[in-house]
Amino acid sequence: MSAIGLKLSPLRSRHVLPGFRLSLGFTLFYLTLIVLVPLLALVIRPVELGFDGFWTAISTPRVLASLRLSFGMALAAAVIDSGFGLIIAWVLVRYRFPGKGLLDAVIDLPFALPTAVAGIALSTLYAPNGWIGSLLAEYGIRVAYTPWGVLVAMVFIALPFTVRTVQPVMAELGLEVEEAAATLGATRVQIIARVVLPLLAPAVLTGMAMAFARAAGEYGSIIFIAGNIPAVSEIAPLLIVTKLEQYDYAGAAAIGVVMLAASFVLLLALNGLQSWAAKRR
Amino acid sequence: MTKRILKPIEDPLWLKLLLGGVTIGFIAILLLLPLVLVFKEALAGGLGGFWTSMTEPDALASVRLSLIAAGIAVPLNTVFGIAAAWAIAKYDFPAKTFLVTLIDLPFSVSPVVAGLVYVLVFGMQGWLGPTLVDHNVHILFALPAIVLVTIFVTFPFVARELIPLMVDQGRDEEEAAATLGASGFQTFLRVTLPNIKWGLLYGVLLCNARALGEFGAVSVVSGHIRGVTNTMPLHVQLLYDNYDYAGAFTVAALLAMLALLTLALKSVLEWRYADELAAAHRH
């Protein structure tokens, strides 16, 4: 006891404020209990399964198709949202018009609206007899119950991420750099392409990565509109649920591990992006 | 004739109209139309129909279950958020950035994966499943698992709001108070809390909205027992899948109202107390 006390005393004296061990101790305990131990239960599953078993569980056509759909459509949604996110952020930062505050608040709707609510609303809207679906049906376009339904739901759910990461950076940008470029004879297009967009690039990429991560893992808003046809419009998270319902824990865990690995890679990429952005400041 | 000279960095009017039109059109079709639809469908049977669907026993049971789950998860995550932010902002220790990344982890994990990990711990083929059955303890497909996954998915909300705010505020004021003889608890209550109260409220607000609205993770561990383990979002799914659209959209409208209330309060906080929120939310 006394040896530990002696060892810790120099560490303690550096802190004027009390409560270091209590606050950090509780933080680490709670983090371990709620997040790390359960995640460990998933991560070590493939070890029990063996590499071959893991590979067999992953490489069925149905699983591969669901992973391709989830990640492919998430990428498409992230790119679409990044484009519109740039335009929306530009309008919100640069223009003055009545109702702007309301418009700004509405952007966060997909954050606040429960995904099941978004799911049944989008499904009803884009169904062949829905408000939007019936318009599209006249042109022979079907959205609900096809892979395009997955894309619509992902675009909906991921939009706030792209707007909210670009918007503050754009607001901070200041008009001086653009004025300087204009004074030096640059045209408007040149200013946007060579000055503004490069400065926004880290924020745009960060927003895109966050949108991609959210869209790839999304479940609630998609399953109602997708139709969930195996190997066609069945997303990976739904296949996890299906396998769990069939008590195929190993199969579900194998897909879960792939998705978790993707989250880790994205998290690392985001940290890299942030330090890149910090260096450029 | 005087010609209005455009500032070189100002967009011409046609471009403003174009970009403004794209923005308003995109937001109206993508975000507002679904919202309008929810309320229209909920009120399709008139206010009477809305009330009948709302007061149906299974609907009320789902409301109660959601409130219980959020009522446990939100306070726990609030205490955690304060503890984590206090530790990270007020002291120096190694691997701090790594700790912050770990705290953010539940945000980048798919909700379904969040549910899955708890099934792997508590399920019949999981770590503790057989032991729990032997002792007749029900965690999976019961309230405890619903609460646990709700805690998991809302884990970072309060912490990630408070950490940047408290790091920005530094530790001078607290150290001054401590030097003058205040206890740790007094320092927190009289110095720190007044500085972070709006940021704290902001985090709790978002945490609560997600806790009441979580679907994917809860869906995996709930077991979908009507009137028993169905939260409000799960009840929406059950009604919708049974072609009871009026009922589904009624509960959905209730959740949508909650979302709108959250957005309104959040906007008020952002406008009124912008200086007392984390820098990312200052407009």
Give pLDDT, residue B229: 86
- Which residue in chain B has the smallest CA separation from A38? B117
Which DSSP symbol is given to A40? H
Q: What's the pTM?
A: 0.88
Q: Mark yes or no for CB contact B109/A263 under 8 Å.
A: yes
User: Which tokens sit at B29?
Assistant: 């079709």
Distance between CA atoms of residues A93 and A41, nearest Å: 45
Report residue B75 as tokens: 């306070």
CB proximity B181 to A under 8 Å: no
Q: B159 vs A180, which has greater pLDDT? A: B159
Contact B216 A219 (CB under 8 A): yes
Q: Quote the pLDDT of residue A1.
A: 39
HSE (side-chain half, CA atoms, 13 Å) at A152: 30
B13, B15, B31: best to mutate for the A interface, most A CBs within 10 A: B31
Closest Cβ–Cβ partner in A19, A120, A244 for B119: A244
Which of B117, B155, B158, B166 is the mutation pick for testing A, counting most A CBs within 10 A?
B117
CB contacts, 8 Å: B240 with chain A: 120, 224
- Dump pLDDT digits (tens) for A148-168: 999 999 999 999 999 999 999
Mean pLDDT within A256-268: 89
| Residues in CB range of B266: below 8 A, 6 or more apart | A105, A108, A112, B202, B205, B206
Examine the pLDDT at A144 and tell me if it is beyond 70.
yes
Note the pLDDT tens digit of each residue in A109-123: 999 999 999 999 999
Residue A4 has pLDDT above 70, yes or no: no
**Residues in chain B with pLDDT values less than 50:** 1, 283
- Interface touch A183/B263, C-beta < 8 Å: no
* Residues whose CB falls within 8 Å of the CB of residue B127, separated by 6 or more in sequence, listed in order: A41, B120, B121
CA pair distance B248, B232, nearest whole angstrom: 10
Put simply, the answer to whether B215 touches A88 (Cβ < 8 Å) is no
Please state the length of chain A. Answer: 281
Q: What is the pLDDT of residues A36-45, one digit of tens each?
A: 999 998 888 8
User: Is the complex ipTM higher than 0.90?
Assistant: no
User: Considering Cα of A251, then A255, then A256, then A258, what sign does the dihedral take?
Assistant: positive
Residue A198 neighbours by CB distance under 10 Å:
10
Chain B, nearest residue to A268 by Cα:
B101
Q: What is the pLDDT of residue A149?
A: 93
Q: Enumerate residues 135 to 164 of chain B having a beta carbon within 8 A of any beta carbon in chain A.
A: 148, 151-152, 155
Candidates B11, B25, B5, B270; CA nearest to A90 is B11
Burial of B218 (0-12, 13-18, 19+ CB in 10 A): buried
Structure confidence at residue B281 (pLDDT): 65
User: Chain B, 43-72: which have a CB under 8 Å from a chain A CB?
Assistant: none
Question: Would you say A114 and B269 are in contact if contact means Cβ atoms under 8 Å apart?
Answer: no
pLDDT at B4: 53
Give me the pLDDT at residue A13, please.
47
| A213: pLDDT strictly greater than 70 | yes
